[in-house]
Amino acid sequence: MKLKSLLKNGKTKYLLINIKNVHNSKGELVQKSCYARDITEEYLMRESLIKANEEKTILMKDSHHRIKNNLNLLLRFISLEEKFSDDYEEILNVTKKRISSFVVFHENLYKISNFKEMNISEYFDKFAKASESFYKHDYESFNLKFICYDDFKLSNDELVPLTLIINELVINTLKYAFAGFSKDYSKNIGLTATRKDDCAEFHYFDNGTGLASNFDPEKSTGLGWVIIRSLVSQLNGSYEVYSDNGMHFKIRFPLSD
């Protein structure tokens, strides 16, 4: 029999009670013996293991759900690519880069203890390194630096669209921003993060050619900007784009509770 006891100091103790009947030679009950053993540590450890197992089960279900959603999102991107271009080699190349963003996201997801949210400083540091490594096969070397002025956490539902937005910006920068520059030109991409009140603000910028003077991101029919506008809307956010010694993109969106 297990007994839960509340001590005077407010702590809970768990006892295992054993009761034994003692009989004489005639089989008559003559007494009962009883002893208790403190099993508090064992009980708490068992409960901890049960909770950890439940969390892992939830993580697996959550991961499967997200993988399914992300694959569906990639399929939609591919369908859009086919509408915008008939260059299937380029479609495949861009799709590989989008998949790389999901890889970074899921690798970080499985390494954290609280899978419902991630520390952005650690996450985007890894994203920057992974991007430099992945894109160097198709483009000349460049530097991607992430600076976090206010370290905070974002939920998975916030990180996925944000990662895809930044990835689209990186793709656009590397495809267009440094065209015509010499091989010796230091190609730099930056990303900063701040938190203001209950909103997150991210500032992406490069030191490329900048945007055309008549460029309007709201009217652009380029697939990259179509995707970016859709993802910003998904975050219930707002953004601005301008040129100043390169292209600048700022996004602001409310943080979830």
Give the helix, strand, coil percentages of the chain, each rounded to 5. 45, 25, 25
Q: How sure is the predictor about 70, in pLDDT bands with cuts at 50, 70 and 90?
A: low
CB–CB of 49/41 below 8 Å?
no
For residue 187, give the nearest of 220, 230, 145, 217 by alpha carbon. 145
202 vs 50, residue with greater confidence:
202
Identify which has the larger pLDDT, 146 or 47: 146
**Average per-residue pLDDT in the chain?**
77
If pLDDT is split at 50, 70 and 90, which confidence band does 119 have? Answer: confident
End-to-end CA distance of the chain: 43
**Prediction pTM value:** 0.65
d(CA 107, CA 4): 42
Q: Which two tokens stand for residue 161?
A: 């669209």
Kindly state the helix (H) or strand (E) to which residue 193 belongs, with its residue range: strand 188-196
H or E segment and range at residue 46: helix 40-84
Beta bridge partners of 188: 143
Q: Taking the CB of residue 103, how many other CB atoms lie within 10 A of it?
A: 12
Calpha distance 124→133 (Å, rounded): 14
* Alpha helices per DSSP H over 110-221: 120-135, 156-172
Contact call for residues 178 and 133 (beta carbons, < 8 A):
no
Judge contact between 118 and 127, C-beta under 8 A: no
Residue 12's pLDDT is 78
Evaluate if residue 136 carries a pLDDT over 90: no
Q: For residue range 2-48, what is the model confidence (pLDDT) as tens digits?
A: 555 555 556 777 777 777 877 777 777 777 777 777 777 787 788 77
Place of tokens 């992945």: 134
- Secondary structure of residue 27 in the 3-state scheme: coil
The residue that leads in pLDDT, 34 or 124, is: 124
- pLDDT tens, residue by residue, 201-249: 999 999 999 998 889 999 887 778 888 998 899 899 999 999 999 999 9
Cα separation, 149 vs 159, in Å, equals: 18
3-state secondary structure of 55: helix
Contact by Cβ (8 Å): 128, 191 = yes
Closest CA to 163 of 88, 249, 100: 100
Q: What is the pLDDT, as a whole number, of residue 247? A: 95
